[in-house]
Each structure stands twice: as structure tokens, then as C-alpha cells.
Structure 1
Amino acid sequence: MDTNMYRYITTVAECKSISAAARRLYISQPALTKQISRLETQLGFKLFDRTKTPLSLTSAGELFVEFADRYVKLENELTNKLRLLDPSKSAVVTVATTPRGGTYIGPSTASFLCHYQGIQLEYMNVSANECEAALEDETVDLAVYTDPVISNQLEYMPLEEDPLLLVVPRNNILLQGKELSGNSLSTPLMLDPLELQEHRLTFILSTPNHSLYHAECAFLSKYQIIPAQSLRVDYVDTRYSIAAGGAGIALLPAITVSRISLSSDAVFCTIRGSNLYRYIVIARKKGRALSENAELFWRFLIDRRFHTHSKQE
């Protein structure tokens, strides 16, 4: 039996969907369906009850997954121990990150190094454009940054939604007559999109070299906002300070705002009936054969994202 089948079956069991499992395994759905059917024929019994949604395991399937899960864990343990015996397997994995991408993968680093002892990680903090250039030039193995992914030479997977907030100074005309008590990062003020089309509003915008620039452009386009006045500022902390200081409105990552929000003159807002967010993604160059260690890091982050979302549900 192809040992990959153990991973295929356990992944389908976790996802409760062949299409979702195929995306996670980076293979096509028809190919995965064919592999499962072939294994069921070989074993002589069905592993999944396809009459139910979501997909469920048969009794035989539950037994198979129990033993397959043990095998996968043993294989990982064996691979890790063999890697420790061979220093040549400890090649450095280079990862380009933006400040936001680095904040995301920081908490995952210790867990990865604990699972895969001997692997060395090297993080480079650059802009989103530089992440893509480094991937194209193959000067890094992977990159973690925020969408959109501009280069058509890259493939990527979303890791997490990155919520955005509007930071509005308390004295802004947009807030006149509104109840602001209780405003916080977790309870932002709901605004109607039409209110943001007020011609007297000033927007504090990022410069084009930042990935947030694309999120701002998408935001302005979606809600048909044409700023009559704007100020472009490179550094995100400075944009917050300028907005909180009364000069205008800024669209900023919620996690950044939570880190630097000190001013009582800042009001946190969002759009009524809509969620403001972008995605944090992990990207690689299409067609490039990565080292075993880089592949492990790619899969680790994606699997971690999947398991985190499963626990939240």
C-alpha cells in the first residue's frame, strides 16, 4: 500500500470532505477520489459513508483511521530522529515576512522547532513586494505576508483572516451626534458606507510599497469613496498617531491598533453589515522543488491553520 494513503484517509476524516481534503493535500479532488476508491477495492470494504453530509466514517473506516493515525505519528517520529543523525538534513529554511506576517508566525515557531528538532529557520523582514521578488529570485524558500499575491509565478494558501478597523479621531465630523460610550476594539462603532462618502473627510493612506495599500484601494473602490483630501504615510504606527491626533481617518490592522492604541481621542469603527479584513498567506514559487525541511514548514503552518479553525468551530 502507498504510505501516502494513510495521510490521505486521515485528512479526509478530519476535513469531513474530499474536496476540502484535496485542497489541504495539494492534489486534485478527482485524483483523491480515485485513490480512495482504489484503496477501498483493495481492502474490500468502504471507509466512508458518502450518503451523508458532511462525510462520515464507516465502522471499518474508524478502525482504519485509528491505526493510520498511529502510523503517521510513528513515521514523523522516525523521520525526526533520522534527521538528527544526519547534519546534512538540517539545511536552513529561509522565510521572508512582512511585519504582519512575522507577527503571525511568531507564536508558531517554537511549536515547529519542538516538532522538528534540528531544522533551522531564518526570517527576513521585508515589504510585501520584496517578499514576492525574493520568491521569484529563489533567494528565499517561502514567504508569509498579507494578500493580494500579485505575482503570477507564485502559489499560496491563506492562513488567517487579518481584521481591519477604521481609526477615526473623536472630533471628526463623521462622529457628530453619535453615541461613543463603550467604544473599544471589540465593540467598534458601526458606520454606514454612505457616511464615508462625505467630501470633507480626510483619509490617512499607506504608500504603494505596503500590502495595506491594496486593502485600502479595495476598500475605497467597494464603497465608492473618492477622498477629496488624503495624506500618504509610510509607517503604520505614524498613520495611527496622525489619525488619533485629529488629522483624518485611517484603515489599519486590528492587531496593530491593539498594540499601539494609547489615545483616548481615537474611535474604532467598522462598516455596518460587513467585515473588514484581508488575508495572511504563505507563498512559494510555482514549480520550484523545495527542500524537505521547507516542505515541512509549509505543511506545518497550513495544518496548524486547519486545526486552529477546527477547534474554534
Structure 2
Amino acid sequence: MFVKNPEYFLTIAKERSISKAAEQLYLSQPYLSQYLAKLEHTLGVALMDRSHTPLTLTTAGEVFYAYLERQSYLDRQLFSDLRDIQDRNRPVLHIGVSPWRGAMLLPDILPLFTPQFPDVQVVLHEAAVPELTKLAEDSVIDFCIMHIPSDLTELSYELIMREHVFLIGHKSHPLLRGLDSPYDRPLQFTQLRQLERERIIMLPSDWRLAKLLHNTFSVLNIDPQNILVTTNNTTAINLAAENMGFAFLQESGISRTPYLDRLACFTIGDPPLTCPTAVVYKKNGFLSPAARAFIDLTKEFYRRFNRDGNF
């Protein structure tokens, strides 16, 4: 459907006021009011609830707003793709990941993706998990691979899987000595209280995995006394491999460490504690065929960690 001057309606919705929108658009208020009335007449529905101040979108208005946002994004994507073709530029796929996940994913997925899309240039945006949400909201990246964000106002997601959370520690530690619990056959660790005075290497407390663990500690009335906070899972693995503490990590973040022979890995709880991993992207955004192919390859990659069918 062709909508004339869609930015007029989008501005009214964002400003929640016809007069403020008119100022933003350098239009007169009567003209913008007439525009809205004609638009509603054409569509046959009320788009704004005028009984509220500031204005609010009706249910039909919310649907129409989402449509216009998606149309605007598709228009920009179309012109960008056509410009790339004209200029013979390579199409670009922007992917957001945390540094450790990028180091783990790309060596497995790129060799499968590149033969299918040899002309696509992959740009990796490696950032801390909280920053990835902002990159997706601002359409800087096509999608990111991360935990499900708490605020989904502007984002959509596809669940990849619920990964087991592993407790890892050096095999020679007194609490683990004699326990045969390798990465591919982990035992359940049932003595979490014994870790209260051990050094525990944790991600920041506002990150999804840390929140899950702090909630687990609270339920079990466990109060760790020695927490070392890092934003890098690789740091956590390396410290655990040097017998400098215990770490809690999602299992896929451990698979490529060269120190697996030094580490014992354990699940936590029954059923085992898990943390959801998802593909996150802008709501109503456009996923190119290359983006969709990369996402599908990522889902297939994570299937190898699916020990119990827990998607």
C-alpha cells in the first residue's frame, strides 16, 4: 500500500501531539490535523485516540505504525542494495556477538556460510552483551546472538536453545579431586554450599547469566564471599584452568578452550540450570537471504549442544 508522507504519521505518533509534530515538520497544525483525518478516512479506522492527552495510538494505529516503520526500513534497505549493485559493492552482513561467542562461532560457521554467499562481506560487531541490545535497536547490526533481552519493545528474537550452565574448576582442586566429570559427560554438582568461601569468577551482576546464578544462590541460601567479576568468559576459563577459582559458564563457551584436559565440568541443579540463547533483531526489520542463512546455520551448529532436546 502506498502511503503519502508516512513521516507525518510517524512523527505524530512519536511526539504524541499534533502541534508538536507540526513544529517538527515545519507544517501548520490545521494542515497536519487534516492530513490525519484524511488518512483515517482512507483506511476506515481511527488511528489516534483523541480522548487522551497526550495522544495515544489505537490498536489499529499501533498496527499501522509498525507497518510504516517496516516499510521505511525496507525502503532504506532496497536503496542500499541497489546502490551496492550499481557500485559493484559487496553486500554486507553485520552480526553482533560477544567476543567469546564470536571466537567460538565463526570458525565453525563461516566455512559453511562462505561457499553459499561468496560475495557477502561479514562484519563482526564484538561488544559486551548490554551493548548488543543497543546496536540491534539502532539497526547498526542485522542481528545479534545473545541472551534474550529483558526489554523487547523494539526487538524480536528467535530462541536457538537453552544451554546448560556449567560449573568449571581445575581437576586438582580439593573439592574436585577424584571426580571424573569431563566436558562431554558432566556430573551434577550437588555441593554448591562448599563454594561459599572459594573464589568464584562471575560475569557482571546485571547480565542474564549472573542474574540466574544469584537467584540460584538466593534460593539455596548461599552467600559467596569471594567473587571476582569479569566481562570476558575467556578470562574466566583461563583463570579456572590455572586453579584460580571456579567459573559458571554456558557450555558452548567452553568447547574451544585448549584447557579442557585440566578442567572438570558440572551441571547445576535437577533439572540442570539453563540459560536461553537467541538470535535478536530489530522488530519489523528485514532479514536478507544471507542473514537468514547464517541464522539457520547457527541454529544447526547449536544442535550439537542439545543434550536433552531442551529447545
TM over 0.5: yes
Structure 2 partner of 1:128 = 129
Which amino acid is 2:145 matched to?
Answer: V
How far did 1:154 drift? 0.9
Residues 1:99 and 2:99 are matched in the alignment: yes
How far did 1:164 drift? 3.0
- How far apart in 1 are the matches of 2:118 and 2:256? 32
Q: What SS does structure 2 have at the residue aligned with 1:140?
A: coil
- How far apart in 1 are the matches of 2:276 and 2:109? 17
Over the aligned positions, Cα root-mean-square deviation in angstroms equals 3.6
- How far apart in 1 are the matches of 2:187 and 2:283? 42
Structure 1 partner of 2:229 = 232
Matches for 1:160-309 after TM superposition, within 5 Å: 160-170=161-171, 172=173, 174-175=175-176, 179-180=178-179, 182-192=180-190, 195-198=191-194, 199-208=196-205, 212-221=209-218, 223-262=220-259, 266-271=263-268, 273-288=270-285, 290=286, 294-304=287-297
- How far apart in 2 are the matches of 1:142 and 1:255? 19
How far did 1:179 drift? 4.1
- How far apart in 1 are the matches of 2:284 and 2:182? 46
Q: Which one scores higher on RCO, CA 8 angstroms, separation ≥ 6? A: 2
- How far apart in 1 are the matches of 2:94 and 2:245? 39
How far did 1:272 drift? 5.4
Structure 2 partner of 1:112 = 113
Which amino acid is 2:288 matched to?
Answer: E
Which amino acid is 1:93 matched to?
Answer: L
How far did 1:173 drift? 5.7
- How far apart in 2 are the matches of 1:113 and 1:244? 34
- How far apart in 2 are the matches of 1:125 and 1:230? 25
How far did 1:116 drift? 3.6
* Bigger radius of gyration among the two: 2
- How far apart in 1 are the matches of 2:235 and 2:299? 34
- How far apart in 1 are the matches of 2:259 and 2:117? 39
- How far apart in 2 are the matches of 1:306 and 1:270? 22
Identity of aligned residues (%): 20
- How far apart in 1 are the matches of 2:224 and 2:92? 46
The answer on whether the counterparts of 2:200 and 2:226 sit within 8 Å (CA) in structure 1 is yes
Figure out how many residues of one structure are paired with residues of the other and give that number.
219
**Structure 2 portions without partners, runs of 5+:** 1-80
**Structure 1 portions without partners, runs of 5+:** 1-82
- How far apart in 1 are the matches of 2:164 and 2:99? 15
How far did 1:284 drift? 0.9
1:282/1:106 CA distance change after superposition, 3 Å: farther
